[in-house]
Amino acid sequence: MAETAFVLIVEDDPAHGEALAEGLKREGHACRVVTSGAEAIESIAARPPDVVITDYKLGGNRDGMDVLRETRRVSPTTEVILMTAYGSEQLARDALSPDNPTPAYDYLIKPIDIDVVREKVNRAAAKARAARETIVLRDQVQKAFNFEGIIGSSPALAREIRRIAKLAKSKCTVLIFGETGAGKELVAQALHANSPRAAKPFKVINCAAISESLLESELFGHVKGAFTGAVSDKPGILEAADGGTLFLDEIGDMPLNMQAKLLRTLESGEVQRVGSTDTRLVDVRFVAATHRELRELIERGEFREDLFYRLHAQGAIHLPPLRQRREDIPILAQHFLELANRLNGTNVQGFAPETMRRLTNHTWRGNVRELRSVVEQMVIETDNEILQVDDLPDALQATTDIVPAGGPSLVGLSMADVERLHILNTLKVAGGNREKAAKILKIGARTLYRKLKDYGVT
């Protein structure tokens, strides 16, 4: 059975109108029957329906085309289906034409087949609901905060954006924690764009994407003859970022020997090219990011503790994963749909309710980046005006409830997410008393305070 819709039937033959209503009520729809165009227009203004079924020819001074035009004016998301007699199909087709400023959704030829009516009403109602939800989502997108492309409305993200805005104006180094795809580079760009260095260079280097042998040269530069292939002097990215900001992505993957050299530059501002004994001074603001647990790396001897505190002590941003701010998913999905339409010349209108429910319930291990990719793929490949469940990738079609309704799932969460969730739940049980929570967790109060600070819990 289809989702319940409110259908207004405009038919000057009361018996025929009631028969239509009876057939649609069996499908689960709510119906109202009126017998004139004037009465229909009054009803639409009082309570806009999902679907209007109107006879093309009506008694009185208002016909079906008047009902269509007034419906589009009063309730643009309501869909109108015209009924016309056999032999007058061209009149209805003209009403469906894109050239018509107020086009109808579809038409029916008398005598009416109730199964055809149900099928067309179901599709029209689904389109009307999706159109209304799209308008609501667009309004939410406009009302949501958009800080340098970081979009959302969740308290968790709002807290970090306030921190970004404060840190941007300072000179301190910043360490960004967040899963892959959560938007760490976007945060780094926002820090730079809102800083006094905004007019200076913003440079990026991914410490995980460059081999250890090349990373030093990329960062610090080299002189001619320093190694095979060094045919000329070349400044590194640190010199290129002089006066501006350097974003060190995936700092947790930087080799230990490079960490020591970076620490020296952080502390002194000195840069020494590979193969040279000369030093140069640079004025660079450092922003680093990682998806890894740096404290665990420190314990394993894979990350320098002094570098960690040099990066972390002054400012830290904790980007929450998408599954911890699900209220942002519909807003982001609508934003990415509109962006995909502009980039690809498409005209997809929105998401069917069940499609959006599955998007909202999905785990999103790839976070915002994965959501954007999925929406763009759907927009490009669909033949529908409204994205349906069938447009979803197979992984999202496989189940309807990826997140069980009975409570938060730990599947797909990192150990840090699990620890954070456990600490927050324990604090709730302890009534917000941190000393009591620490005793329940069997950790020291100072350890609990440190973990709360690391997780951005105030």
49 vs 36: CA distance, rounded Å: 16
Look at residue 406 in the predicted model and tell me its pLDDT: 38
pLDDT of residue 400: 45
The verdict on pTM exceeding 0.75 is no
Give which of 262, 261, 311 is closest to 290, Cα–Cα. Answer: 311
Q: Tokens standing for 171? A: 């000179």
Torsional sign, CA 69, 75, 76, 79: negative
Residue 432 zone, left/alpha/beta (φ > 0; ψ -120 to 50; rest): left
Name the nearest CA neighbour of 123 among 385, 392, 394.
385
Tell me the CA distances in angstroms from 421 to 225, 366, 439, one per residue in order: 54, 20, 17
Answer whether 6-141 and 150-318 agree in fold. yes
Q: Which pLDDT score, from 0 to 100, does residue 414 have? A: 63
pLDDT tens, 61-79?
888 889 999 999 999 999 9
Asked whether the beta carbons of 246 and 285 are under 8 A apart, the reply is yes
Nearest to 407 by CA among 386, 388, 421: 421
Concatenated DSSP letters of 405-430: TTS---TT--HHHHHHHHHHHHHHHT
Domain 322-397 has CATH 1.10.8.60: yes
Number of alpha carbons in the 13 Å side-chain half-sphere of residue 324: 22
Place of tokens 């609501």: 136
Q: In the prediction, which pLDDT does 151 show?
A: 86
Burial bucket for residue 428 (CB in 10 Å: 0-12, 13-18, 19+) = exposed
| Homologous superfamily of 150-318 | P-loop containing nucleotide triphosphate hydrolases (3.40.50.300)
pLDDT (tens digit, 9 = 90+) per residue, 23-46? 999 888 999 999 999 999 999 999
- Residues 422, 426, 427, 428: is their CA dihedral positive or negative? positive
CATH 1.10.1660 for domain 415-454, yes or no, is no
The total of other beta-carbon atoms located within 10 Å of residue 97's CB is 9
Give the C-alpha separation, 104 to 387, whole Å: 21
3-state helix, strand, coil in the chain (%, to 5): 50, 15, 35
Q: Which residues have CB under 8 Å from 384's CB, separation 6+?
A: 348, 391
**What is the token pair recorded at 276?**
């040279």
Helical H runs in 145-232?
Answer: 155-168, 184-193, 212-220
Contact status, residue 26 vs residue 61, Cβ threshold 8 Å: no
Q: Which stretches in the chain have pLDDT values below 50? A: 400-409, 411-412
What local confidence, expressed as pLDDT, does residue 398 receive?
A: 63
Tokens of 436: 């009591």
- In 269-407, alpha helices (H): 294-299, 305-312, 329-344, 353-361, 367-381, 394-397
pLDDT score at 431 = 67
- Scanning the structure block, which residue is given the tokens 């990350």? 303
* Among 209, 208, 214, 212, CA closest to 229: 214
pLDDT for res 401: 41
Q: Which CATH class is domain 6-141?
A: alpha beta
Domain ranges of the chain: 6-141, 150-318, 322-397, 415-454
